[in-house]
Amino acid sequence: MERLRLAVKKEGALQFLSHLDFARCVRYIIIRAGLPVLYSEGFNPHMKLSFASALGVGVGADVEYLDMELAEPVPVTDVIERMNAASPDGFSVRDGKYIDAKAPKLMAVANYAVYDIKGPAARPVSQDELDGILQAFNEASDVTYEKVSVKKGHKVRLIAVKNHIVEPVSGIVEKDGICLRAGILETEDGAIKPQQLWDVLMAQFDLPVQADLVLAWRRGIYVRKNGTNYSLFDGV
C-alpha cells in the first residue's frame, strides 16, 4: 500500500459544492484517471480517500490536501497529469508527495487555516474606519460568539473567539466591498468559521457589512506548532 498526499485547488463553480459533493467529485476524477486506488472491505466498500478539512458551501481554496491509498506506486507527475486531464473546470492538482503509511491522518494534524473573507459594504466605509474596527477587535481580550445548534433543540454554545484568532485580522476596502485576511486555529474545542468571524465583527464591532452576502477563500492550511506554520507535506 502506498499513501499519496496531494495538494489540490477548488475554485469556480466547485466553490459552491458541499463537502460531500466535492468529495464525490474527487472520487469520480480518480476513477476516470484510472488510478489503482484501494477500497475498504465489507458490504459497502468505499475508496480510501481522506481530506484535511471540510470546506463549506461558498468556500474556495488555493490549496486543499487529500490522502489516497494506492495498491502500487504511480509517479507523482503521472498522477497529477492523469487527474488534471480527467478534471472538470475548477479543480486541479498542484503538487503531490508519497508519505509514511503510518503518518497521522490529515484531519488530526491540519489545525490552522488562512482565509480571505469578502463581502459588500452596507454603506460607504473608509480604510481608516476599517482599520479602527479591526484594531478594536485585535486588541480585545475577550470576544464571545453564540453558536446555536438547530439540530440539538436550539442549544446555545459559547465560543471564545480569541482562542481561535491568534494573529491580528487585517483588511482592505475595495471597490465592491470589504476583504479581510484572518488565520483561524482549530483547538480541542473545534474552530470558528469564516462566516462566524464576519458575523462577530458586524454585530459586536460595527463592521458595516451585510451578514448573508459573504464568500471565503482559503489561502492556505497548515500544521501550526509553537506559533510556526508548517506545510502538510513536511509538518507531520
* 99-158 tens-digit pLDDT: 998 889 999 999 999 999 999 999 999 999 999 999 999 999 999 988 776 666 667 778
Supply φ then ψ for residue 186, to 5 degrees: -95, 130
Q: What is the pLDDT of residue 101?
A: 87
In this predicted structure, what is the pLDDT of residue 91? Answer: 96
Distance CA 52, CA 54 (A): 7
Which among 36, 27, 119, 26 has a CA at the least distance from the CA of 74?
Answer: 36
Give the rounded distance of the alpha carbon of 223 from its chain centre. 13
What CATH class does 2-108 carry? alpha beta
Q: What is the pLDDT of residue 47?
A: 94
Q: Which CATH number fits domain 112-230: 1.25.40, 3.30.565, 2.60.40, 3.30.70?
A: 3.30.70
Supply the pLDDT for residue 109.
Answer: 93
Locate CATH 3.30.70.580 in the chain: 2-108
What are the backbone angles phi and psi of residue 232, rounded to the nearest 5°?
-70, -10
The pLDDT score that the predictor gives to residue 153 is 63
Give residue for cell 488510478.
Answer: 35
- Counting as low any pLDDT under 70, the low residues of the chain are 149-154, 235-236
Output the 3-class SS for 79-115. HHHHHHHCCCCCEEEEEEEEECCCCCCHHHHCCEEEE
How far apart, in whole angstroms, are the C-alpha atoms of residue 201 and residue 8?
A: 31
